[in-house]
Amino acid sequence: MNRSMEERYVISSQIQTLSKKQLFYGDDLSLKREVMLYTINNLNNDNYNEYIRKFKKASAFVHAGFQHILDTSIEDHSIFIVLEHKSGKPLLQYLKNQDWVFNRIITMISDLGVSMLDGMEEQITGFSVAADNLWLSEDDRLSFINFWEDGEPQFTGPLGLCSLIIQLSTGSTQIPDPFKALDSYLLQIDQLPASPEQKSVLIKLVRRAYHGQASLSSLVIGLQGLLHIKPQTEDLFSTTEPIPAAVPLTRAPIQPKPPATYNIEIVPPEDDDEDEDFDDTRVPFYKRKTFAVIGVILVIFVIWMIWPALHSSNKPSKVEPTPSIPATIAPTATVTPEPTPTEDNSVVEPGEEIVIPNLIGLTLEEADKVLIHLRLHYDFHKEVNKETPIGIIYKQDIPPETKAAQGDRVVFWISR
């Protein structure tokens, strides 16, 4: 560190030490403010120039999910970095001293995933998502400390994000190996105080990430959806209130009805040349019921007769040229519908730039939610694929993580 930096910044206390890196609380004597000081020593000579290039690019990136770099000093394969002071502590110090409830974990991780997506747009990727590289503020916001160094593959991207979920769920300071003892960690997730629906969806998301079947964007969308899952309504018969004893039914004795009496009125015949006036009150009940049944049958018969005509009138008819008109009339071409229409076939103006998600391994319903959220159109085809379960997407025309614009169209294939 050069002399001017030594005179301006003073270390007050140590926060965290990890291998070649150290994090301190300090003071900026020039501006009279508290800062955090981050030092990295003994950088590797083989990739020193590439390391410095990535660091300079990252230092220009300003985002709430990443520690803000205020000042730097680079010399003798060492870096002295001045970071903005934030309330809170390194996440590693909170792991075993906090109550990590389900909604808190999912909210923190989904917000962190959004920060990673924002960094991806500026080509800030590949950094570690481990707890020792995260700072937890007093308002439960996570931010990355070092975001210019490449982390180990199992601790970065969607896989690293899911490993962090397991860490917070279990309170472990060690990130689980992605290929060992996954089921035992998932069993601990299943013990979290959450609804069965939420835990089931979370376990599926973690499994897909560990098997490389979930992109960062699809994982973040899935985590955000977890907060809106409502538990199913409890069974009405599971109430703890005592069920009242059955009350015996009592029926009043049935009294025999007196025989019906009918007054028959004899009407003398009228002349043939006069119109007969029909009085409905003189028709016996069983005849009126017969007339009603016959009327209903007639109505049903009429509807049955005219139904084919009404149904066929809704179909588009082919326009034939009329021979009596001298001018030549071209027949109207019938439009064949697309075999795989999307929900919205309207023309959309290109929107903001987004990243194409990884749809492989999703169902049609899951892919639909992801693409609608990103404002992308899509077409799909169903083809036989013996290597993929029925109903699962196994191929897409645009590779994942490819940049595109809102309104673009993605085509994918579903196994049948």
Q: What is the domain-level CATH number for residue 366?
A: 3.30.10.20
Q: What CATH number corresponds to the domain at position 110?
A: 1.10.510.10
Q: What is the pLDDT of residue 309?
A: 52
Residues 159 and 59 in one domain: no
Looking at the predicted structure, is the pLDDT value of residue 227 above 70?
yes
Residues 108 and 208 in one domain: yes
Residues 37 and 162 in one domain: no
Residues 216 and 140 in one domain: yes
Average pLDDT over every residue of 152-156: 87
Q: Is 39 contained in some domain?
A: yes
Average pLDDT over every residue of 177-188: 69
Q: Is 10 contained in some domain?
A: yes
Average pLDDT over every residue of 224-243: 58
The pLDDT confidence band at residue 100, using thresholds 50, 70 and 90, is confident
Average pLDDT over every residue of 44-63: 89
Q: Is 133 contained in some domain?
A: yes
Q: What is the pLDDT of residue 57?
A: 92
Residues 139 and 98 in one domain: yes
Residues 79 and 100 in one domain: no
Domain count for the chain: 3
Cβ(143)–Cβ(192) below 8 Å: no
Residues 94 and 214 in one domain: yes
Q: Is 313 contained in some domain?
A: no
The pLDDT confidence band at residue 310, using thresholds 50, 70 and 90, is low
Residues 73 and 97 in one domain: no
Q: What is the pLDDT of residue 176?
A: 61
Q: Is 314 contained in some domain?
A: no
Q: Is 19 contained in some domain?
A: yes
Average pLDDT over every residue of 110-116: 96
Identify the domain boundary among 204, 226, 248: 226
Looking at the predicted structure, is the pLDDT value of residue 27 above 90?
yes
Q: What is the pLDDT of residue 192?
A: 80
Looking at the predicted structure, is the pLDDT value of residue 274 above 70?
no
Q: 37-41, 55-59, 73-77 — which is least confidently predicted?
A: 73-77
Average pLDDT over every residue of 82-99: 87
Q: Is 113 contained in some domain?
A: yes
Residues 48 and 167 in one domain: no
Residues 133 and 192 in one domain: yes
The pLDDT confidence band at residue 362, using thresholds 50, 70 and 90, is very high
Identify the domain boundary among 84, 112, 135: 84
Domain enclosing residue 180, as ranges: 89-226
The pLDDT confidence band at residue 339, using thresholds 50, 70 and 90, is very low
Task: Give the residue with greater pLDDT, 364 vs 269.
Answer: 364
Identify the domain boundary among 226, 250, 278: 226
Q: What is the pLDDT of residue 247?
A: 41
Residues 406 and 377 in one domain: yes
Q: What CATH number corresponds to the domain at position 75?
A: 3.30.200.20
